[in-house]
Structure 1
Amino acid sequence: MNDSGPVSDLIVDANWLADNLLDSSIRIIDTRVGFEPRPPGPSNFFQMKEEFLKSHIPGSTYFHMVDDLSDPEGLFAFAMPHQSKIWKLLSLAGINNQQTIILYGNAVTSSTHRCWWVLKNAGVQDVRLLDINFEQWTELDLPVESGESRFPVSDFNGGPEEHWTATKQDVINSLDDPTVKLVNSLSAEQFIGQGQHYGRPGRIPGSISVPATELIDFSSGKFREWEAISSIFELAGAHKQDKLITYCGGGIAASTTFFALHVLGFSNLSLYDGSLLEWGEDPDLPLELD
């Protein structure tokens, strides 16, 4: 992919993409999902393949966060799948690891960030986000098409896994480690134990609060100004020398927070994949309430 256009390291300008849709070094993935909360358990992120077939960015392939990029046999909802599943999925889609993958979604923005995190965690070399969602793309009257593009099957060979996943034991160990900070990505209401919860209300002890909703405009899919986002983390107590573990209800909102921290240059990062869906199931594990 030629980076001479207005493309950041991880976020791609929509007009630039519209001008480069025929570039064979780029592959575009549509990650749109519908959303239905189902407290006190995991929310329902349902497929939008029919909507994709009616209209999408030209050349896109559809991946579903749950069916394609989660482990159906995992110990908790939305669990990170094995690397081999990701590589097979990409091979069947005709994608190779020399191509740049650009993801876009809809107003359920965190699901797109989750797809980015899963792909990168599985050793996919170059994965980026479109700077706006599909609704904004159509409002700008940028190109769309219907149907489904077909590509020859490839033999995807990725790199080593990023090891961006924190386990339940990692989080337990962090409770007595002052060098580790847990970043709760849920709403301020959920942080204090109110509103929707995931089995048991509350937060993991010692957590700091950085709601994913404060980092992004969910109507457009755009992140806020990065200087403002940096200030949000600083005021919450997250610093670049810290080891940070992001979490939420099921690892979705935490992917938004993780992505933002990664863009800002935080390097000692992981995401608690099981999040409160796993933590809350164990009555022996503590949760704080206000």
Structure 2
Amino acid sequence: MSVLISVAELNARLFAEPGPGFRVARTVVLDVRWALGDPHGRDHYLAGHIPGAVFADMNTELAGHGRPEDGRHPLPSEDEFAATVRRWGINTGDTVVVYDDAGAAAAARAWWLLGYAGFKDVHLLDGGLAAWRAASLPLATGEQRTEQGDAVVHFGAKATIDADQAADWSGILLDARAGERFRGEIEPIDPRPGHIPGAVSAPTSENLAADASFLPAAQLRARFAGLGIEPGSDVAVYCGSGVTAAHQIAALEIAGFSAALYPGSFSAWANQPERPVATGASGIAASGGSGGNDDRVDG
């Protein structure tokens, strides 16, 4: 199943008039506008969204609650997420399309989480809301009303790792944050700067073209090959709190690779003082202490 769907394909799904005897599969659209430091995602949605789209809240619907050592955006429980997807109006067999206005950096969390929950027909809108606007397609305002869905959720359909596995990862561990955060030059929110020792810097911004659409599959394959990834490689990904790492996994899947997610990511790692951190381009490990992906999105 393709990771991406184009604006033209989504528009056809939402507004096509099928001929006699032809049925277009039902499509649910989720608006996942969220960025670190901008608590007004719902307001942006209400002011203008793709017609029929339902707002998905990062902090209350796409993440659970936990201790600092669990990270800023721990996964919701299976029961919590099941209630959420039904509230969004998703039924068994529906196609789901997710988008944001930040190059899919936030929308990818919903894409990954739905895949992790067992949904097979889930797509990222390539180029997001900007591409929809560029095509001069209509926007709707206000809240989208939904009827309760009947979708079933079973976690585990995508691979994850925990902190112990990240510490001992024998394959390639990608850090999806901006390079300056990886190197420890800045750290705007986590208690210690740096990265997990042994990780490779791979900012999610390098997955995108200038118009915020994903690079073609061949270019993404070349990018990841340059990071040492080849068919059969064991790959895991983390970011700041498990949000933009999902964007990296989407790019890897477009390129033909699979990867596991470390959901707690560096926000969990950095809040466990016994875990060492490394700084610099290649990494100098240190333990204890306190302390281009667009950092407006929690990477």
TM over 0.5: yes
Extract unaligned runs of 5+ from structure 1. 1-7, 37-44
What is the alpha-carbon distance in structure 1 between the residues aligned to residue 71 and residue 126 of structure 2?
A: 30
- The aligned counterpart of 1:287 is 277
Is 2:164 the counterpart of 1:147?
no
TM superposition shift of 1:158: 3.4
- The aligned counterpart of 1:202 is 194
CA change 1:18–1:254 in 2 (3 A) is same
CA change 1:108–1:64 in 2 (3 A) is farther
What is the alpha-carbon distance in structure 1 between the residues aligned to residue 39 and residue 113 of structure 2?
A: 18
CA change 1:236–1:24 in 2 (3 A) is closer
What is the alpha-carbon distance in structure 2 between the residues aligned to residue 253 and residue 260 of structure 1?
A: 11
TM superposition shift of 1:63: 0.4
- The aligned counterpart of 1:95 is 90
Aligned-partner SS, 1:153: coil
1:77 paired residue among 69, 72, 88: 72
What is the percent sequence identity of the aligned residues?
Answer: 26
Conserved? CA contact 2:220–2:252, under 8 Å: no
Conserved? CA contact 1:87–1:158, under 8 Å: yes
- The aligned counterpart of 2:110 is 115
Between 98-107 and 18-27, report the one with greater CA deviation. Answer: 18-27
Report the AA paired with residue 12 of structure 2.
Answer: D
Report the AA paired with residue 59 of structure 1.
Answer: G
Report the AA paired with residue 274 of structure 1.
Answer: G
Is 2:261 the counterpart of 1:271?
yes
Q: What per-residue deviation string (whole Å, max 9, x for no partner) do you get for residues 149-201 of structure 1?
A: 32321222135521422111211232xx3xx2211112222222212252212
Report the AA paired with residue 202 of structure 1.
Answer: G
1:184 paired residue among 175, 185, 196: 175
CA change 1:160–1:82 in 2 (3 A) is closer
What is the alpha-carbon distance in structure 2 between the residues aligned to residue 95 and residue 181 of structure 1?
A: 35
What is the alpha-carbon distance in structure 2 between the residues aligned to residue 60 and residue 52 of structure 1?
A: 9
Report the AA paired with residue 125 of structure 1.
Answer: K
Is 2:21 the counterpart of 1:28?
no
CA change 1:238–1:285 in 2 (3 A) is same
How many residue pairs get matched?
269
TM superposition shift of 1:87: 1.4
Q: What per-residue deviation string (whole Å, max 9, x for no partner) do you get for residues 109-140 of structure 1?
A: 31111121112112223210111221331232
Report the AA paired with residue 215 of structure 2.
Answer: R
CA RMSD after TM alignment: 2.0
Extract unaligned runs of 5+ from structure 2. 16-23, 281-299
CA change 1:193–1:125 in 2 (3 A) is same
Aligned-partner SS, 2:89: coil
What is the alpha-carbon distance in structure 1 between the residues aligned to residue 236 and residue 247 of structure 2?
A: 13
Question: 4+ residue runs of structure 1 moved beyond 4 angstroms?
Answer: none
Report the AA paired with residue 176 of structure 2.
Answer: S
What is the alpha-carbon distance in structure 2 between the residues aligned to residue 163 and residue 10 of structure 1?
A: 14
Structure 1 residues 153-232: aligned runs within 5 Å: 153-159=148-154, 161-174=156-169, 177=170, 180-196=171-187, 198-217=190-209, 220-232=211-223
Between 62-71 and 129-138, report the one with greater CA deviation. Answer: 129-138
What is the alpha-carbon distance in structure 2 between the residues aligned to residue 34 and residue 135 of structure 1?
A: 16
- The aligned counterpart of 2:11 is 18
- The aligned counterpart of 2:233 is 242
TM superposition shift of 1:14: 0.2
What is the alpha-carbon distance in structure 1 between the residues aligned to residue 105 and residue 219 of structure 2?
A: 19
What is the alpha-carbon distance in structure 1 between the residues aligned to residue 235 and residue 47 of structure 2?
A: 41
